[in-house]
Structure 1
Amino acid sequence: MHGSQTGLGCPVPFPAHSPTTDVEAQVTELADLLFRSFPRAGHRLKGEQYLRGLLTAPGRKTVRNIARALGDSGAAQRLHHFVCNAPWRWQPVREALAAHLTDAAPPQAWVVRPLVIPKAGEHSVGVHRRFEPETGQVVNGQQAHGLWYARPGMNAPVDWCLNPPARTLPGGRPQPVDLGPGRRPVTALLDRAGRPGGAAPAPVLWDCPAEDATDALRTLAALPLPGVVRLAGGTALDVLGPSGRRALGTPLPAERIAAAPGAPWLCGHDVAPGVRAVTVRVAAPRPRTAAPGRPADGLLLYAQWRADHPGRADFWLTSLVRAPAAELHRLTALAGQTARDTARTGARVGLRDFEGRSYAGWHRHMTLASAAYTALLRAGGRG
């Protein structure tokens, strides 16, 4: 690693004279670490220029604005070619970014989050119209999913997939699988977690609400590491008794399972000041044709409420059935931290600003924007 490190990996040799000084130090360090796989020295120079431009250009991070921020209007064409057409591979850069963050401090979780990128036209790669349940509106744009390195006080995106149009998929729901060659899932970077050269193992926090229990179970089964999946309160589940058998004759919504006063299946926990949680052993509802007996898919429902918002709860389904409730609270809290930083920092580094039409260009831009995101947060430029 370049330079000596302390804490979360902020370089010691550079004095913290100002945020600008710190960001410049981060750009220099990241460019040296991340661009070693580039086939040409000229590519490394353009990569550093693009990274610096993402952090300094005012407004939208278009190639024109980046070139203007660099004081070289003629750089626009060169940088456009570098991002859209130059023969460099983005995956080694993302793996180097994940390794750099992990070397500084191990992740507490890998967080998966969706990212909707509105578009005015229909010609950018992956653009389609889809209904957004959160806003109740139909949005024209790209649907992506990102993989975030996360620990208290620090998070950064390290991998991306651009999802196929929802209308081409069963049920019309966007899936976190890339539309490009090989249809790579967003968690592919974690496939070799714990092995030499692979990512550091940590639970996967799937912050994309499952449609139902079957969807949640399928997601957990597909993850390369133990995980936690966000649930809607209406998700129906079977409650398990102490013997591991189903305790009730019918599935109940998660919100009813967690709110039943005095229910023998509930374990209550004060996980943090002003935060109350419950845990319940559950299973996905069995098909009507299934034989009775002990289910093989015992899982844990984790629900929590804040004292200042008693009517609003978060529901999660996890395979970490032996994890203490306080640990699950710390883990799921990273979802809120990542969401807040994505909203604030994502706009500052241009996560939604790529203007080109090419699949490769989108991935290269998102790779460099992820590096800029890391530089900004590690330099203390959050907010």
Structure 2
Amino acid sequence: MARVVLPEDSVREVSKVIDGMIAPLFESLSRRDQRNWARVYLNGLVRTAGKKTIRNIAGTGASSVEQSLQQFISKSPWDWNPVRRSLAQHLERTARRPLAWVHRPMVVEKAGDRSVGVGRQFVPQLGRTANCQQAGGIWLASGEASFPVEWTLTLPGPWTGELLRRRAGIPETARSLTPAQDDAVHAVRRMAATWQLQRRPVVMEVAACDLPQSVDSFVLRGIPFVFKVDGSQPVSFAPAGRPKAGPYTVPARELADSLRPQRRAVEWARHGSAEEAVTLLASAPVLAAPGEDGPPAAPPTPLLLVGAWAEDDPLPSEFWLTNIGDRPAAQVFLLARLADRVALDFTETCEAVGIRDFEGRSFRGWHHHATLASVAHAARLLGTRAPSGQAHPLPGRTGLPRPAPRHAHVR
């Protein structure tokens, strides 16, 4: 997809936003020259056409600028965590009606084997094995816009060995984790514990093998969640009206299909457009059952299964598990749809400021670049975008009363 070049008036507005962000976001950088190079790099991410490499940002014939940026990004030991925390706190004050934290995986395919974290690995998002980096962003999302504030870089096993760890400057505290679940759950837990942010639901996709641990980890810390799951995910329930029966364990798809008579329609506008969509929803209280090789969850946690049908589709096609029991299914569905908002902003803005473009080999450099690309993403949206299309129920045309309670036992 071609990257949109901003008109000069918009670039000037974004640069003003960047100038206003330097002091509050980069307060942890004690040296003035570091804050200056942060400003240069941020403006380069916004202004530079094509790939946002350090060489392109520095411009032709500016070797001293290139060397200074290379030092600032790849070698300087400044801590990116306070900058990300300050960015999240700033966006909570300035973004319009933030609703949730959304985790989105990111895959960066590579030709060689020198970039930190690169390796041949199966990538669910691609459906194939690729030589790539796998990363994940945690985004603050509303119906109008979304912003990445935290990033994780998955380290395949070889990168935690002494040779590659030393070559890439990987700290001893960095662990080898699975791309989607462990990295994201660990990051959300850290944000909730130390970033002094408002508690909001976390929206993410979770594989069946990781679901019990993810549920337990968030419930233990009081973090609300909406987990997208596969239709084959086993769930346990007790049939309504038969309190002594069960619990039965069936795939989420089978239970949702049995709720077809209880479906209600919700009409909503897709993110980024005025296109209307109709989705049919049904929900039931359940507990997530462990996978075939997983231990039972203890103690069991009450959850809500929400199944969704396209308007003309006889079978449910999407499924979510949530511990948010005090909202109608329609609200849970709209929280889940914030993943579409993030996908749109990732493509239109985050890629445009070069989130995938870092060519360095150091762990520190990758995280510095991702941090600055996140700030540039926020500046570009705050400086150029009026509130745009969002996913929301169309006024007066949506139903979905709160589902009647049923008895359920989940393990």
The TM-score range, normalised by the shorter chain, is 0.7 to 0.9
2:362 corresponds to 1:358: yes
User: 1:174 is matched with which residue: 157, 179, 198?
Assistant: 179
**The one of 224, 230, 233 aligned to 1:232:** 230
Q: CA shift at 1:32, angstroms?
A: 2.6
1:272 aligns with 2:272: no
- Structure 1 runs (4+) greater than 4 angstroms displaced: 166-169, 175-178, 242-250, 308-312
For 1:46-68, what per-residue CA distance to the aligned partner results, in whole angstroms no more than 9, with x for missing partners? Answer: 00000000111111110001111
Q: Give, in whole Å, the separation in 2 of the partners of 1:167 and 1:251.
A: 39
Instruction: Call closer, same or farther: CA 1:308–1:134 in 2, change over 3 Å.
Output: farther
- State the match for 2:382 in structure 1: 378
The residue number in structure 2 matching 1:12 is none
Secondary structure of the equivalent of 2:283?
A: strand
* 3-state SS in 2 of match to 1:38: coil
TM-score by length of 2: 0.76
Deviation at 1:81, TM superposition (A): 0.4
Q: Structure 1 CA distance, aligned partners of 2:240 and 2:17?
A: 52
Q: 1:52 to 1:135 in 2, by over 3 A?
A: same
- Aligned partner letter, 1:31: I
Select the residue among 252, 257, 260 that pairs with 1:259.
Answer: 257
Distance 1:257 1:76, change over 3 A: same
2:102 corresponds to 1:104 = no
Query: C-alpha deviations, 1:162-206, integer Å up to 9, x for none?
Result: 11216899xx9535556xxxx99221443237xxx6011111112
Q: Any stretches of 5+ residues in structure 2 without a counterpart?
A: 1-6, 161-176, 269-277, 293-297, 389-411
Instruction: Return the letter of the residue paired with 1:201.
Output: R
- 1:1-383 aligned within 5 A: 18-68=9-59, 72-105=62-95, 107-165=98-156, 173-177=178-182, 185-192=186-193, 198-206=196-204, 208=205, 210-212=206-208, 215-223=210-218, 224=221, 225-242=223-240, 248=246, 250-260=248-258, 267-273=262-268, 274-285=278-289, 296-307=300-311, 313-380=317-384
SS at match of 1:95: helix
TM-score (normalizing by structure 1): 0.81
Alignment size in residue pairs: 350
Relative contact order higher in (CA < 8 Å, ≥ 6 apart)? 2
Indicate the RMSD between aligned Cα atoms, in angstroms.
3.3
Q: Are the structure 2 counterparts of residues 276 and 140 from structure 1 closer, same or farther at C-alpha, using a change threshold of 3 Å? A: same
After superposing the two structures, state which structure 1 stretch, 96-105 or 133-142, moved more.
133-142
- The CA deviation at 1:115 is 0.9
Letter in 1 for 2:192: D
Distance 1:17 1:309 in 2: 47
Runs (5+) with no aligned partner, structure 1: 1-15, 289-293
2:359 aligned counterpart, secondary structure:
coil
User: What is the distance in 2 between the residues matched to 1:160 and 1:261?
Assistant: 38
Q: Secondary structure at the match of 2:370?
A: helix
Shift of 1:305: 2.7
3-state SS of the aligned residue for 1:202?
A: coil
Summarize the Cα distance change of 1:245–1:282 in structure 2 as closer, same or farther, 3 Å threshold. Answer: farther
Q: Percent identity?
A: 34
